[in-house]
Structure formats: structure tokens, C-alpha cells
């Protein structure tokens, strides 16, 4: 046995050698990891410092450019809304500039970078007052000055700011090159060190291997004496694997143990559950074994088994059988031999004892004892296996059913699910995984990734699997994969270690969800912050962005629409973890999961934002379906979370309404006057409502279960059966109806109208019939009366058609399909077109209204939704003979005719009236022109006098020889200013007489200001004060020049009244304000008012209180025509409390009307 001891020494030596080799390898790896760490640090510093600074500098440049561009848009803005929108955009870009300058200030390290950042920030601040000045000038209407500042010092400031940001970017770029050079130097240094370390390790390994193999070879031959013992043990182990019968197994083990005479005798005792011997096997078949067996059957236990000496070790060494066990029948036979007594034990359960008789010289060999203990343990394990094998067989059937259920469950989900063992071989997969791989389950199970995918994909999978199994914790990763059909999808894969109850690692389980849509969205969001913000704000879905502290930092426009309050109520103030509303709704666990990196979908819930910690009581209660996505950095750390909401309030409300509707349906069915019934495919009634009692005399229980043919005569049943057979044959979802006589309980018949249809299951297989039946005795009488009414209606229809045809005005009936149903004789006579020539609206528009066809088509798109009569205004009609008529149209809904919405359009020929109005308008214009010429003369008087004075002064200076360049420049500039004033005066009057071609949306304040520019000089010359009050910015639809003519007429009348009545402190007051549907304009004076006796006549044509030279009597008449007929408004006159006249004009607001001439 010394050889075994020497062998153990050699093993210790080998272990020391391997430890030394491991130390060398680990040292080399540590050095490599150190190099990687240094390179990682350098890379991180490049990202944290120059990369982020340069990125921030580029963004600042971009935002400065956008601000400059928006400032140009502010100067060129055409409305207050556009101006405010552009100002808000400039403010947003300015915030972005300071945000990213803060990033630069945080990341910059040296004084140069800080100086550049401060310089850029100071230039940006210096630009602010210039921009504010431009905005104030634009708001004040001084656009020329605003443009000059924008092109001058504004552009200069932007140029300096762009130079500063470029210098900042160049600074970051230079720092990046410095980091890169440093990294390259470190890489070269570490590369040389790695080569030296590798060569040294290889040399040491070669030396160690040489001496190790040389020493071990000298001791290999010394281990041959263990061959017999190992052979015995090998045969025992082979038997344990092969034999399943316990008595036969135990007996053959004993026989093998003495087969090569290593041991003299072997016997095994097995115990029952009470630790009593219940089986004994031995290689000794003599009467000695029989004697010892009989003694043990009598309750005797051999001392070698019973002794407690060294039993805690699981074995007992008997040096002398004679001395240790004198009562044993084997004592004399093995007097000079010792024995091993070893417990057969597994999992703390004692199955029996193995006793071997052996020469005393081998008793002290620990190696042999250890091998025998291992054999005893293997025997115990075999007994344990045989003991549990039957139990496992009973569980096998249950496991099979469980496995089948498990496979059905994982096959029913859309996610990809798979299981691998520790060798990375697939053992389980679902149908979604089969679709992903493009192979069947049999082709996948038993294969590795390298047998199913190309090497690049397999390497990727193997790397993540190896890390996950080594760390024994779940790992998640995102990956692009391509399906066999070429479709690329983005999968979110979670892999977890598969560990049994004993903590043993069995493999891994993977679960992949298709997040292609989310990935595409995420990539789109990362392309640019501007695009992300634009998408958020325009997205119809509600999107919220939160930082790591749970504070809301961004929302989109849909958020405001969902809750009904502006985003400013919660932005940067609302916090998820401080909100009592969030906590009360139970959302915090879902939110925490998202912050832990998980994509979370929350089931529908009701949320109330009206609490004190959200929007100060604003908002409304909504049902929501919510998803929460973590936004991660490249390192995998969560940076923000995005919360999206889908408003399912209507869906939930609809479901509740559906449930209520079903309840009402049930109630309606039970209380319906019709008999509701159901039958199976055998034509047996399975349901009927209580109406069966009143209709047929049956109780419900009596009727259910009866056959259909029981309730009809043979002839009637044949008629019903033919219809039923046709429905079944065609498998139609359409119902059928018939009138049939059905037996009542008392044997009489009742005529019924029966309706029925097939009932289908989810596979569209017919499973029965359902329908209704009603007594149509009353319907028969009703039909007779209905036919009589229809006949009378036909007579009335003909009478109506005659009335329409003979009506004195043109009439057309047309429907929503564009078909002309009828035109009367007057329409055809006046236009010259027959019905066949204009039988569609398009034909009429093309022939008679070609000039206004686009506008007419636009109007016709909405006319068929009318609910009441409307006036459509005037339109030119081209007759067939080439003449042009003016018709005034109106339309009204006629109802549904032949299933189509139908409109009646009537017209009135106002051609002659129109010519008269045009003549009056021309007269009014001529009268106004005379007054305007007087105003022009008055307004030109002072500028011409000023020009004459300048010319006279120039002549005087020349005469006195004091005329120099300075004087010439002053006089010339003054003459140019006066000339510009004269030119502007001419432009104002030219615009007044310029005809309007179309209606436009205008502001009454701007129209009044243009009017006052014409008349104010005339008013001032008569010492008439002017007071204006503009309380409305609402737009109206109007012809601007015509509206100016109305204002000039009324103001001139007021001026004439004030002058003729010699009013002291003469005043004309103008006020613009809003009413519910109208924008109102009041023009009042204190000139004595209007005589109440002539008040009703002031708007009549040719009525005037002035003499024939100064008044035509057309001014107010034309004003009323313009306001009420052209602009569809109202004009009224009254006397005010100040003793003057007051004219009030009401025009419909722009969003309330869309009146335009066709």
C-alpha cells in the first residue's frame, strides 16, 4: 500500500504544478484586463469629454441658426397668431441653447474651454435685447426698422455667436485628437507588454510540462497492483447499472467481490424500514453461513454490524475476527484474517452493511478503504434508484400529461419560447420559435445554434448564453433577426437560468417578444431631438417623458387634449412618486418595474387627475390603457421612461352600454309582443318567450321540446321546410320570412308572419335557428289601408309635380349622387337648356356656370347635409343662346327620395334689378368721388405749401450766398418727405376706388384705420374730434373696399351734420366689439340726431335731407345694400343719449359663416 501513498504524493505534486500554471495564466489575464480597463477608461473619457462637448456645440449652432431664421419670420409675419407662434419657437430654441451650453460647462475641464463657453453664453445673452427690440417694433407696426435691426446689429451678433460656437466645436475636436493620440500610444505600449508576457508564460509552461511528465512516468508502473481491486469495483459498477432485481443484485455483488480472490468472503445484510435485517447474501454457502443466518433470524446481530466503534465514519475495521466476534460462526474459519464492515447508506438512509474478509496487511490502506466506501455508496445509490424506480413509473404518466399541457400553453402564445441544456442544445421550443427558425420541432430539438443559424448569429447567441449561465441570473437583450421569409424583426429576449429544487443548473429558458414597432419608433426618436419633439407633439397617442426622479419633463399635444388642460399645469412639477392620484390608482408597482428596465403594459384602469398633487383640480376622469417603456443608454442603464396612454373611455363606456343593451335585450325579449323562438338543427324548439301563451295558448314548458311539424298542417309545414332547406343548403347568414298559418293549442289556426335565420358557432357551423313570429291579422287590414293611402299619395304627387312645373320661378330637384331629378319649365325656358342637356349637376355647372364651377362644386359638397333652407346668394347663368342672367338661388332639404338625400333649389331672375343696383352703385361712387377730390385738395394744401417754402428758402440762401451742402441736404430731404406724403395720399384714394373681386377675411380695426387715413384731415380741418375703441380682433368675411365705402358714407354724413348744426366740441366716436355671433361696429356723433319722422326713410333710394347739389340720396341706400345683401349683415340707425345719431353694423364672425357668391 506504500505505492498508493507514493501515488498520492505524485498527485499532490501534479496539483501544485497545475496551481502554478493557473497562477501564471491568471496573472497574464489580470494584466490583459488591466490593459482593457485602461483602454475602456480612455474611450469613456473621449465620450464624456470631447464627444459630448462637440455634440453640444453642434446643437447650439443649429439652435442659433433656427433662432435667426425664426427672427426673420417674425419680421415677415402677417398675423398676430403667426407672430406669437414664432416668438414661442425662438424662446424654445433659446432654452435649448442654454441647456446644451450647461452640458458644455459641466463637461469642460480646462480654462480655455470654460472661457469659450462663457464667451458663447455672453454673446447669446447680448442677442436677447436685440431680439426683444425687433419684436416690439414688429408689434408696433414698425417693420422697416425691425428689418434694419435684423439685417444690421442682429446679423452681426449672430455672426459673432456662430464664430464662438465654431471655436467651441474646434476646441472639442482638438481635444478628441489629443485623446486619440494618447490612446494610440497606450495601445502600442500595452501591445509590447502583452507580447513579452505571452513569451514568458509559454517558456515557463514548457519547462513545467517537461519536468512534470518526466517525474510521473517513473511512478506509473508502481500502480499496477491496484488493478485487481479496481477490476472488482468496475465489475460491481457494471452490474449495478445492468441488474434491476435486488436479491440477484446483492448476491452477484458478493460473488464479484471475491472473484479474483482479493477478498476471502463477502456478505451483505439489508434492513427494512425498522432497521431490522430482512435479507442476507454471502459468498459462503457452507453450514457456517446457514448458522449465522439462523442466528440473525432469531434476532442476533453480529458485533461487526452492531458495534458503535467508528460508526460515525460509516465503516468499522476488524483486525481479528476471532477476537472481535468469538460468537460468529465464521470466527474459526477466518481466525487469521481481518475485515471491513461498511455501511450501505444514501441520503442519510441506512440500507444495510457490506462486510469483507481480507488479509490484515491491507486493513490500514486508506485508499482501498475509500474505494470500498465508494462501492458501498454505489450499492446504496443503486438500491435507492430501484426503490424509486417504481415511484417514478407512476409519476411518468402524470409528467407526460403535464408536458403535453405545457407544450400546448407555450404554443398558444405569440412570444418565442425555447429551452437549452447546459451544453447549449435545444430541448424544448414552441411553434413561434419553429416559425422564427423555419424548421419543425423535430429538426430543432437536439441541435445547437451553430446547426440552425449562420456563425455570426450563433456566436452572438452563444456569447449571451455563456455569460448568463456563468452569472446564474436572468439577462435581457435586444436583437435584430431575419425570419425565413425575409422579414426582419426586432426581438426583446429575456433568458433565465433553469435551476431545479436542489439548486442545480439544468440549462436556460428564453422568451422573446417582437418589439419591431417599438424599435423602429425608438430609432426614429434618436435621429434628432427636433424630430422627436415634433413627433411627440403631433402624435395622436398621449406621450409623457419622465426623468429618473419621476418628474414629468415632456408631453405632447395629445396629452392636453386628453386631460383638457395646458401642459404647463404639470410640466416639470408633476412627480410620479409624489402623486397621491398615482398611488391611489395602484400604478406605482408598474412604474417601478419600468425604472428597473422592463417594458410594462398596464391593464385598463380609471384615472382621476383632478386631485391636488397633479393639475390643481383641473382635468377630467378617463379610462386608460397604458404602456411604459424605459429609455436606456448604450450601457444599458435606464435614462428616462416614456409613458403612452390610449384613451379607452369610449370603449369601456361602449362595453358597459353593450352589457346594459344585452340586459335590455333580454328584458325586451321577455316582454316583446312578438313570439321569439329558437330551434336546433332537428327542428325541435329549444327556447320561446312568454308571448307564446298569448299567441298560441301554450305555456313555455309545454312548447319547448316540441317538433316544428307538430304545429303546422302538412301543406304549411312543406312550405316552411322548403325555405329551411334552402337556408341550410346555402349556409346563408341572411334571414328569410314567410306568412304561414300555425296551429294554436286549442286546434285553431292563426296567421303568422315568421322571420328566421341560422345560428352559427365560432367555426361558422350551423347549430340551429332563431327568429320571431307575429300575428299579422291586423297587418292585412293595414295593408289594405296603406294601398289606399299610396293611391291618394300618387294623386297628390302628380298634383305637386304639376305645381312645380307651372311655378313662375325656376325650380330644380337634385340628389347627393349629382343627379338632377327634375327641372321645371321656367328653368328650361329661361336657361334655354332641356332636361336631357342638364340631367346632372356637373352638366348644369359646365354649361351654365362654367366661370364659377370650382366654387359651385365646393359648395355642393356640403349642401346635402342641410337641415333647413338657406340663401345661396347670386350667380351668373350663361344661357344657351349666349346671354348672361343674374339669378338669386336658395336651397332646402326635400328628404330621402329613392334612398338618396334630395335638395330642392329655387331661383329668381334678378338681372334687371341687378342692373338698377349697379347704376345706383355707380352714382354713389361718383358722388363719393366728388367728396374725395375735396379731401385730396385739403390734404395736399399743407405739403404743397411746405414744398413752396423750402424752395423759397433755397432761393434766399442762394441770393445771400449762404447756400451750402448741409442746407441743400436739409431742404432736399424735407421736399422728399412731403412728396412721399403726397404719394401715399394718392395710394390711399386709389385703393378706396379699387373694385373688390372676392370676399376675404378682414379685421374691422384695419378697415377703419384705412378709412380714417382718408377722412381724418377733413375732420381735423372742421375741428371734429375722433375717438376710437377697438375691443375685438375677430375676423369677418367682407369685400374690403365696399366696407370702406360704407364707413366713409356714414362718417361724412356725421361730419356734414356736425358742421351744419355748428356743434361745439364736435365728436365722432367709433367702437368695435363682439357679440355672440356678430362683430359690431358703432359710428356715433353728437350732431343733433335724426328726426324721428324721417327715421324710417333714411335708407330709401334718392332720399336726402341735403340740397340737390350736396346730396344724391344714395349713400345710405347703397350702404344698406352692401351690408345686408352683399355681406349678409345688418345695419340700424338710432339716436343716442348725447343728442346725436348712431349707426350700428353687425357682421357674422368668420367661423360662423362661409357666405360667398357662387
What CATH number should be reported for the domain holding residue 1106? Answer: 3.30.565.10
- Is the pLDDT at 609 greater than 80? The verdict is yes
Mean pLDDT value across residues 887-903: 81
**Residues in contact with 788: Cβ distance below 8 Å, sequence separation at least 6, in sequence order:** none
Mean pLDDT value across residues 140-154: 82
Q: Please state, in angstroms and as integers, the Cα–Cα distance from residue 253 to each residue in 242, 278, 281, 373, 374, following that order.
A: 12, 17, 9, 14, 14
CB neighbours of residue 922 within 10 Å: 12
Q: Where are the beta strands (DSSP E) in 205-264?
A: none
Residue 230 lies in a domain: no
**Contact 853/846 with Cβ under 8 angstroms?**
yes
CB neighbours of residue 533 within 10 Å: 15
**What confidence score (pLDDT) does residue 1103 get?**
66
Mean pLDDT value across residues 156-172: 81
Residue 342 lies in a domain: yes
Instruction: Provide the b/e sequence for 1116-1133 (b: ≥16 CB within 10 Å).
Output: bbbbbbbbeebbebebeb
Instruction: Provide the b/e sequence for 179-215 (b: ≥16 CB within 10 Å).
Output: beeebeeeeeebeeeeeeeeeeeeeeeeeeeeebeee
Instruction: Provide the b/e sequence for 50-80 (b: ≥16 CB within 10 Å).
Output: bbbbbbbbbbbbbbbebbbebbbebbebeee
Angle (CA) 366 367 373, round 5°: 85
Classify burial at 1083, counting beta carbons within 10 Å of its beta carbon; exposed 0-12, middle 13-18, buried 19 or more.
Answer: buried
Residue 632 shares a structural domain with residue 521: yes
Classify burial at 1152, counting beta carbons within 10 Å of its beta carbon; exposed 0-12, middle 13-18, buried 19 or more.
Answer: middle
Mean pLDDT value across residues 433-462: 86
**Contact 903/813 with Cβ under 8 angstroms?**
yes
Instruction: Provide the b/e sequence for 701-723 (b: ≥16 CB within 10 Å).
Output: eebbeeebeebbeeebbeebeee
Q: Report which of 487, 486, 491, 488 is spatially closest to residue 476, judged by C-alpha positions.
A: 491
Reported residue count of the chain is 1158
Angle (CA) 905 908 909, round 5°: 135
Q: Bigger pLDDT: 5 or 377?
A: 377
Residue 1033 shares a structural domain with residue 1112: yes
CB neighbours of residue 733 within 10 Å: 11
- CA 809, CA 824: separation in Å to the nearest integer? 9
Share of the chain above pLDDT 90, in %: 9
Residue 431 lies in a domain: yes
Q: Report which of 963, 960, 1034 is spatially closest to residue 1002, judged by C-alpha positions.
A: 1034
- CA 165, CA 168: separation in Å to the nearest integer? 5
Please count the structural domains in the chain: 7
**What confidence score (pLDDT) does residue 1030 get?**
93
Residue 322 shares a structural domain with residue 380: yes
Query: Alpha helix (H) ranges present in 577-689?
Result: 580-585, 588-595, 649-671
Residue 328 lies in a domain: yes
CB neighbours of residue 474 within 10 Å: 13
Residue 462 lies in a domain: yes
Residue 851 shares a structural domain with residue 984: no
**What confidence score (pLDDT) does residue 526 get?**
67
Least confident among 298-302, 655-659, 1005-1009: 298-302
Mean pLDDT value across residues 32-40: 68
Domain end point (choices 326, 357, 392): 392
Quick: pLDDT tens for 898-915. 778 888 888 887 777 666
Least confident among 172-176, 874-878, 1124-1128: 172-176
Residue 104 lies in a domain: yes
Residue 401 lies in a domain: no
- Is the pLDDT at 1072 greater than 90? The verdict is yes
**What confidence score (pLDDT) does residue 172 get?**
76
Residue 373 shares a structural domain with residue 489: no
CB neighbours of residue 4 within 10 Å: 19
Q: Report which of 275, 281, 283, 321 is spatially closest to residue 302, judged by C-alpha positions.
A: 321
Helix (H, G, I), strand (E, B) or coil at 805: helix
Q: Bigger pLDDT: 873 or 847?
A: 847
Instruction: Give the N- to C-terminal CA distance of the chain in Å, as an integer.
Output: 122
Residue 812 shares a structural domain with residue 873: yes
**What confidence score (pLDDT) does residue 944 get?**
63
**What confidence score (pLDDT) does residue 1153 get?**
43
Rg of the chain on CA atoms, in Å: 53
- CA 762, CA 739: separation in Å to the nearest integer? 31
User: Given the C-alpha cell 508502473, which residue does it identify?
Assistant: 221
Torsion over CA of 921, 927, 932 and 934, rounded to 10 degrees?
Answer: 180
- CA 212, CA 17: separation in Å to the nearest integer? 8
**Residues in contact with 957: Cβ distance below 8 Å, sequence separation at least 6, in sequence order:** 963, 967
Number of H helices, E strands in the chain: 34, 32
Quick: pLDDT tens for 745-761. 898 888 888 899 999 88
**What confidence score (pLDDT) does residue 308 get?**
43
Residue 1023 shares a structural domain with residue 1131: yes
Q: Report which of 888, 901, 855, 892 is spatially closest to residue 870, judged by C-alpha positions.
A: 892
- CA 367, CA 373: separation in Å to the nearest integer? 10
Residue 1051 shares a structural domain with residue 1133: yes
**What confidence score (pLDDT) does residue 1025 get?**
92
Residue 630 shares a structural domain with residue 706: no
> Chain-wide mean pLDDT for the chain?
78
Record the cell numbers describing residue 872, joined without a space: 345661396
Record the cell numbers describing residue 304, joined without a space: 461487526
Classify burial at 29, counting beta carbons within 10 Å of its beta carbon; exposed 0-12, middle 13-18, buried 19 or more.
Answer: exposed
Please count the CA atoms within 13 angstroms of the CA of 9 that sit on its side-chain side: 10
Q: Looking at residue 485, which CATH number applies to its domain?
A: 3.30.450.20
- CA 865, CA 670: separation in Å to the nearest integer? 39
**Contact 1115/927 with Cβ under 8 angstroms?**
yes
- Is the pLDDT at 310 greater than 50? The verdict is no
**Contact 901/866 with Cβ under 8 angstroms?**
no
In the DSSP assignment, the letter for residue 344 is E
Residue 138 shares a structural domain with residue 73: yes
- Is the pLDDT at 1123 greater than 70? The verdict is yes
- CA 199, CA 215: separation in Å to the nearest integer? 25
- Is the pLDDT at 997 greater than 60? The verdict is no
**Residues in contact with 810: Cβ distance below 8 Å, sequence separation at least 6, in sequence order:** 823, 824, 826, 827, 830, 831, 887, 906, 907, 908, 909
- CA 385, CA 388: separation in Å to the nearest integer? 5
**What confidence score (pLDDT) does residue 327 get?**
67
- Is the pLDDT at 882 greater than 80? The verdict is yes
- CA 575, CA 582: separation in Å to the nearest integer? 9
What DSSP assignment string belongs to 854-871?
HHHHHHHHHHTT--S-EE
- Is the pLDDT at 180 greater than 90? The verdict is no
- Is the pLDDT at 791 greater than 60? The verdict is yes
**Residues in contact with 692: Cβ distance below 8 Å, sequence separation at least 6, in sequence order:** 675, 677, 698, 699, 700, 703
Quick: pLDDT tens for 94-142. 888 888 888 888 877 778 878 888 888 888 888 888 888 888 888 888 8
**Contact 238/333 with Cβ under 8 angstroms?**
no
Mean pLDDT value across residues 374-399: 76
User: Given the C-alpha cell 478628441, which residue does it identify?
Assistant: 176
Residue 607 shares a structural domain with residue 477: no
Q: Which domain holds residue 1027?
A: 969-1152
Torsion over CA of 818, 819, 825 and 827, rounded to 10 degrees?
Answer: 10
Classify burial at 905, counting beta carbons within 10 Å of its beta carbon; exposed 0-12, middle 13-18, buried 19 or more.
Answer: buried
Q: Bigger pLDDT: 40 or 339?
A: 339
In the DSSP assignment, the letter for residue 673 is S
How large is the angle between the packed helices 246-257 and 227-242, nearest 10 degrees? 170
User: Given the C-alpha cell 460473488, which residue does it identify?
Assistant: 255
Residue 125 shares a structural domain with residue 8: yes
- CA 465, CA 424: separation in Å to the nearest integer? 8
**Contact 1146/1078 with Cβ under 8 angstroms?**
yes
Q: Looking at residue 249, which CATH number applies to its domain?
A: 3.30.450.40
Please count the CA atoms within 13 angstroms of the CA of 620 that sit on its side-chain side: 12
Domain end point (choices 461, 480, 514): 514
- Is the pLDDT at 277 greater than 70? The verdict is yes
Domain end point (choices 479, 514, 549): 514
Residue 781 lies in a domain: no
Amino acid at each position: 500500500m506504500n505505492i498508493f501513498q507514493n501515488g498520492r504524493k505524485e498527485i499532490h505534486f501534479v496539483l501544485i504544478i497545475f496551481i502554478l500554471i493557473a497562477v501564471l495564466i491568471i496573472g497574464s489575464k489580470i494584466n490583459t484586463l488591466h490593459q482593457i480597463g485602461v483602454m475602456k477608461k480612455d474611450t469613456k473619457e473621449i465620450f464624456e469629454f470631447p464627444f459630448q462637448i462637440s455634440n453640444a456645440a453642434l446643437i447650439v449652432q443649429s439652435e442659433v441658426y433656427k433662432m435667426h431664421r425664426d427672427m426673420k419670420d417674425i419680421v415677415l409675419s402677417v398675423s398676430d397668431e403667426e407672430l406669437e407662434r414664432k416668438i414661442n419657437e425662438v424662446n424654445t430654441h433659446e432654452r435649448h441653447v442654454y441647456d446644451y451650453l450647461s452640458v458644455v460647462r459641466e463637461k469642460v475641464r480646462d480654462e480655455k474651454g470654460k472661457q469659450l463657453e462663457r464667451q458663447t453664453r455672453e454673446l447669446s445673452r447680448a442677442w436677447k435685447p436685440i431680439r426683444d427690440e425687433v419684436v416690439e417694433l414688429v408689434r408696433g407696426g414698425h417693420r422697416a426698422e425691425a428689418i434694419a435691426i435684423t439685417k444690421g446689429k442682429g446679423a452681426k451678433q449672430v455672426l459673432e455667436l456662430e464664430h464662438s460656437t465654431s471655436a467651441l466645436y474646434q476646441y472639442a475636436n482638438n481635444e478628441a485628437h489629443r485623446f486619440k493620440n494618447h490612446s494610440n500610444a497606450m495601445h502600442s505600449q500595452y501591445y509590447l507588454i502583452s507580447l513579452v508576457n505571452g513569451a514568458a508564460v509559454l517558456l515557463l509552461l514548457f519547462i513545467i510540462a517537461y519536468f512534470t511528465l518526466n517525474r510521473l512516468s517513473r511512478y506509473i508502473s508502481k500502480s499496477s497492483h491496484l488493478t485487481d481491486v479496481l477490476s472488482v469495483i468496475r465489475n460491481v459498477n457494471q452490474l449495478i447499472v445492468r441488474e434491476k432485481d435486488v436479491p440477484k443484485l446483492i448476491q452477484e455483488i458478493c460473488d464479484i467481490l471475491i472473484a479474483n480472490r482479493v477478498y476471502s468472503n463477502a456478505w451483505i445484510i439489508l434492513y427494512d424500514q425498522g432497521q431490522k435485517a430482512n435479507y442476507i447474501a454471502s459468498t459462503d454457502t457452507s453450514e457456517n453461513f446457514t448458522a449465522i443466518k439462523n442466528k440473525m433470524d432469531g434476532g442476533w446481530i453480529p458485533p461487526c454490524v452492531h458495534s458503535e466503534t467508528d460508526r460515525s465514519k460509516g465503516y468499522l475495521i476488524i483486525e481479528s475476527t476471532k477476537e472481535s466476534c468469538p460468537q460468529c460462526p465464521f470466527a474459526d474459519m477466518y481466525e487469521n484474517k481481518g475485515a471491513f464492515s461498511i455501511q450501505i447508506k444514501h441520503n442519510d438512509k441506512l440500507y444495510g452493511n457490506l462486510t469483507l474478509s481480507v488479509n490484515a496487511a491491507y486493513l490500514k490502506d486508506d485508499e482501498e478503504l475509500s474505494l470500498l466506501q465508494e462501492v458501498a455508496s454505489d450499492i446504496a445509490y443503486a438500491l435507492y434508484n430501484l426503490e424509486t424506480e417504481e415511484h417514478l413509473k407512476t409519476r411518468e404518466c402524470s409528467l407526460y400529461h403535464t408536458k403535453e399541457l405545457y407544450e400546448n400553453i407555450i404554443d398558444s402564445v405569440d412570444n418565442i419560447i425555447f429551452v437549452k441544456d447546459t451544453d447549449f442544445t435545444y430541448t424544448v421550443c414552441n411553434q413561434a420559435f419553429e416559425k422564427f427558425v423555419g424548421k419543425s420541432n423535430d429538426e430543432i430539438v437536439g441541435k445547437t445554434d451553430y446547426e440552425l443559424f449562420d456563425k455570426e448569429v450563433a456566436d452572438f447567441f452563444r456569447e449571451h448564453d455563456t455569460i448568463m449561465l456563468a452569472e446564474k441570473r436572468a439577462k435581457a437583450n435586444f436583437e435584430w433577426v431575419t425570419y425565413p421569409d425575409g422579414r426582419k424583426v426586432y426581438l426583446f429576449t429575456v433568458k433565465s437560468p433553469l435551476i431545479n429544487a436542489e439548486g442545480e443548473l439544468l440549462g436556460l429558458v428564453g422568451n422573446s417578444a417582437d418589439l419591431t414597432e417599438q424599435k423602429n419608433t425608438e430609432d426614429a426618436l434618436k435621429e434628432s431631438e427636433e424630430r422627436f419633439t415634433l413627433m411627440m407633439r403631433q402624435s395622436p397617442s398621449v406621450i409623457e417623458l419622465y426623468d429618473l426622479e419621476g418628474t414629468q419633463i415632456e408631453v405632447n399635444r395629445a396629452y392636453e387634449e386628453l386631460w383638457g388642460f395646458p401642459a404647463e399645469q404639470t410640466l416639470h412639477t408633476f412627480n410620479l412618486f409624489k402623486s397621491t392620484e398615482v398611488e391611489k390608482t395602484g400604478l406605482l408597482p408598474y412604474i417601478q418595474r419600468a425604472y428597473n428596465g422592463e417594458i410594462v403594459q398596464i391593464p385598463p384602469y380609471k384615472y382621476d387627475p383632478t386631485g391636488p398633487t397633479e393639475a390643481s383640480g383641473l382635468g377630467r376622469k378617463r379610462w386608460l390603457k397604458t404602456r411604459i417603456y424605459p429609455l436606456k443608454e448604450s450601457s444599458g442603464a435606464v435614462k428616462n421612461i416614456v409613458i403612452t396612454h390610449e384613451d379607452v373611455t369610449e370603449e369601456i363606456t361602449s362595453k358597459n352600454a353593450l352589457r346594459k343593451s344585452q340586459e335590455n335585450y333580454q328584458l325586451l325579449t321577455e316582454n316583446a309582443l312578438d313570439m321569439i323562438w329558437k330551434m336546433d338543427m332537428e327542428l325541435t324548439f329549444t327556447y320561446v318567450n312568454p308571448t307564446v301563451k298569448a299567441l298560441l295558448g301554450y305555456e313555455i314548458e309545454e312548447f319547448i321540446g316540441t317538433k316544428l311539424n307538430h304545429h303546422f298542417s302538412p301543406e304549411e309545414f312543406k312550405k316552411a321546410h322548403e325555405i329551411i332547406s334552402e337556408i341550410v343548403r346555402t349556409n346563408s347568414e341572411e334571414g328569410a320570412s314567410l306568412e304561414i298559418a300555425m296551429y294554436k293549442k286549442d286546434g285553431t289556426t292563426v296567421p303568422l308572419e315568421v322571420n328566421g335565420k341560422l345560428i352559427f358557432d365560432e367555426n361558422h357551423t350551423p347549430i340551429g335557428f332563431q327568429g320571431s313570429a307575429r300575428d299579422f291579422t291586423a297587418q292585412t287590414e293595414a295593408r289594405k289601408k296603406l294601398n289606399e293611402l299610396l293611391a291618394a299619395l300618387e294623386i297628390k304627387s302628380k298634383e305637386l309635380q304639376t305645381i312645380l312645373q307651372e311655378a313662375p320661378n325656376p325650380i330644380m330637384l337634385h340628389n347627393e349622387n349629382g343627379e338632377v331629378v327634375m327641372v321645371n319649365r321656367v328653368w328650361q325656358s329661361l336657361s334655354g337648356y332641356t332636361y336631357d342637356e342638364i340631367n346632372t349637376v356637373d352638366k348644369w355647372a359646365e354649361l351654365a356656370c362654367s366661370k364659377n364651377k370650382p366654387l359651385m362644386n365646393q359648395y355642393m359638397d356640403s349642401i346635402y347635409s342641410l337641415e333647413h333652407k338657406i340663401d345661396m346668394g347670386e350667380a351668373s347663368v350663361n344661357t344657351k343662346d349666349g346671354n348672361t342672367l343674374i339669378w338669386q338661388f336658395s336651397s332646402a332639404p326635400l328628404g330621402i327620395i329613392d334612398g338618396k338625400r334630395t335638395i330642392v333649389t329655387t331661383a329668381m331672375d334678378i338681372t334687371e334689378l341687378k342692373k338698377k343696383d349697379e347704376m345706383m352703385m355707380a352714382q354713389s361712387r361718383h358722388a363719393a368721388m366728388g367728396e374725395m377730390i375735396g379731401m385730396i385738395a385739403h390734404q395736399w394744401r399743407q405739403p404743397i405749401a411746405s414744398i413752396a417754402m423750402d424752395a423759397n428758402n433755397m432761393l434766399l440762401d442762394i441770393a445771400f450766398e449762404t447756400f451750402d451742402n448741409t442746407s441743400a441736404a436739409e431742404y432736399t430731404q424735407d421736399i422728399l418727405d412731403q412728396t412721399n406724403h403726397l404719394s401715399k395720399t394718392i395710394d390711399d384714394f386709389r385703393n378706396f376706388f379699387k373694385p373688390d373681386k372676392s370676399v376675404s377675411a378682414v379685421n374691422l380695426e384695419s378697415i377703419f384705420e384705412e378709412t380714417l387715413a382718408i377722412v381724418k384731415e377733413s375732420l381735423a380741418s372742421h375741428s371734429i374730434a375722433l375717438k376710437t375703441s377697438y375691443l375685438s380682433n375677430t375676423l369677418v368675411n367682407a369685400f374690403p373696399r365696399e366696407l370702406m365705402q360704407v364707413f366713409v358714407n356714414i362718417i361724412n354724413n356725421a361730419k356734414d351734420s356736425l358742421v351744419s348744426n355748428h356743434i361745439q366740441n364736435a365728436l365722432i366716436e367709433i367702437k368695435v366689439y363682439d357679440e355672440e355671433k356678430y362683430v359690431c361696429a358703432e359710428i356715433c356723433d353728437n350732431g343733433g340726431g335724426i328726426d324721428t319722422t324721417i327715421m324710417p326713410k333714411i335708407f330709401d333710394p334718392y332720399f336726402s335731407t341735403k340740397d340737390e347739389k350736396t346730396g344724391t340720396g344714395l349713400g345710405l341706400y347703397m350702404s344698406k345694400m352692401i351690408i345686408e345683401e352683399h355681406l349678409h349683415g345688418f345695419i340700424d340707425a338710432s339716436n343716442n343719449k348725447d343728442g346725436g345719431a348712431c349707426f350700428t353694423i353687425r357682421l357674422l364672425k368668420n367661423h360662423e359663416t362661409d357666405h360667398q357668391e357662387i
